[in-house]
Amino acid sequence: DGLMLLSSDPGHHEAKAAGPSDGPKGSSADLATIVSGIGSLTVGAAKLMDGGGVKQTMVAMDEGSVFVMSISDGS
């Protein structure tokens, strides 16, 4: 369970939007699976290293970043 935040450069996004969309269908489900896995891996690593609770996880890529943070069940 986690909340994903994604940010990008608007100019970069508009330039790509003008071209044909060649992304895989169902990519939102794939991204949800990836984010869930990242969240689980970081929680497991924190437990293994007695690091306490995980506040956030960041994956930096050449073309963007992914931030993963957990939220409470009552949100």
Torsion of CA 32, 37, 39, 3, to 10 degrees: 0
Q: Which residues contact 54 (CB under 8 A, 6 or more apart)?
A: 39, 42, 43, 46, 70
Q: Averaged over 12-29, what is the pLDDT?
A: 58
Contact 21, 27 (CB under 8 A): no
Whether the pTM exceeds 0.75: the reply is no
Q: State residue 47's pLDDT score.
A: 95
What pLDDT does 1 receive? Answer: 43
Q: What is the rounded distance in angstroms from the CA atom of residue 46 to the CA atom of residue 68? A: 15
pLDDT band at 12 (very low <50, low <70, confident <90, very high): low
pLDDT for the residue numbered 46: 94
Strand partners, 58: 67
Domain boundaries, the chain: 1-8+27-75
Reported as a single tens digit per residue, the pLDDT across 36-49 is: 899 999 999 999 99
